[in-house]
Amino acid sequence: MPKQDIINSMYRVRFHGRGGQGMKTASRVLGKAFFLEGFEVQDAPRYGAERRGAPIFAYVRASRKAINERGIIRRPDLVVVADDSLVDIPAAGVSQGVSTATVVLIYSNHEPGTWKQRCSLPENVVTLPFPEDTQHEHRFISTICAGAAARLSGAISRDCLKEAVQEELADLGEEMVQANLSRALHAYDLMAPYSNLVVAGAGETGETFSKPDWIELPFEPARVSAPSIHAVLTSEKVATGLWRTMRPVIDDSLCQRCGLCNSLCPEGAISLDTAGFPQIDYVHCKGCMICVAECPTHAIHTLPEHETEKGLE
């Protein structure tokens, strides 16, 4: 695929994953690799009051010219999804700003066609299947994603990727560097058929833009506009502080007792009772909804906290 004018274009890459999967590391490895190739680079994680398992993202910009853009990438050229359970969750914002020009790389065992159909994603969906030893290999998810992204850009040599992994992970010791390196390079090689698929975009122009939908913000009385929470649950009433705005609720009649939710809950907040049915500890559930996304029989649904009249159960 022919590249656009390389001087005025910029690679804009967004990594989506869950807290703990290493999206910041992925963005740093890719950023460093671009930098070693002679690009100007900006890489950053986006986090706030995050917790393990919550959707987070990180991003990389790379250009031959100085980069003046900052902050969230709204029109990405490449979106990398390290955790395929995020694709379905609107709040994770995976598809935000994705256009027909965007390449979407999903670390997933489902075929690209499945994702395109299921989530109305554009044509350029590429999947990177899990290695066989999934349990063990998931530890390397960040370097796997960075390696694959490097190849998709078509702008990064194998040597620069190698050097980037070595530099960014140096603090972890030689053994971990080598373990990560082999995964990153393997992913890089696997993506060979799609090398150069990503096209660096030109960004918005000052000629054709839609005027922002600014409004005149009217005065509203303090009983509406004071930032107070009037719902049943407030942090004061929850021993662990309140994270959730929505809660997962299990329908035992649909539950097959497979125990998947129990093993995937990042907070260990789902236990199994003597009959094998999962029980959610709402004091420790942070509302990440991994269980909802993973439940094979869709036995777990979500309920807004303000609709839980009883409050703490």
Partner 1 sequence: MKRTLLTGNAAAAWGMRLAGVDYLPAFPITPQTEIIETVARWIDTGEIDCRMVTLESEHSMITAAGAAAATGVRVFSATSSQGLLYGMEMLYTVAGWRAPFVLVNVSRGLSSPITLEPDHNDIFAARDSGFLQIHCATCQEVLDSIILAYRLAEDERVRLPVIVNLDGFYLSFTREPVEIPKSETVARFLPPFDPGNVRFRASEPVSQAVAVLGGGPYSYFRYQAHLAAMNATSVFEEIGKEFEEFFGRGYGSLETYRSDDAELVFVMLGSFATKAKDAVDRLRAAGQAVGLVRPRLLRPFPADAFRQALAGKKGVAVIDQNLSAGSGGILHRELTAALYGQPETPPVLASFIGGLGGRNIGPEDFFGIAAETSQAIAAGKTPPPRLLFSEGELKDVRQLQAIAGISPEKPGRDA
Binding site for partner 1 (CB under 8 A): 28, 31-32, 35, 40-49, 67-72, 74, 203-207, 209-215, 217, 220-221, 223-224, 226-232, 245, 304-306
Q: Which amino acid is at 10?
A: M
Report in angstroms how near the CB of residue 56 gets to partner 1 at its nearest: 12
* Long-range contact set of residues 117-120: C-beta below 8 Å, sequence gap at least 24: 118/87, 118/88, 119/87, 119/88, 119/95
Token pair of 147 as six digits: 């390696």
Least distance CB 179 / partner 1 (angstroms): 23
Residues paired with 69 in a beta bridge: none
- Is residue 21 within 8 A of residue 142, CB to CB? The reply is yes
Alpha helices in 130-196 (DSSP H): 134-137, 141-153, 158-168, 174-190
Q: How far apart are CA 270 and CA 251, in angstroms?
A: 14
- Exposure of 63 in the CB half-sphere (CA atoms within 13 A): 17
Token pair belonging to 151: 């190849």
Question: Across the strands, what pairs with 13?
Answer: 60, 78
CA distance linking residue 104 with residue 14, whole number of Å: 10
Q: How many CB atoms lie within 10 A of CB 111?
A: 12
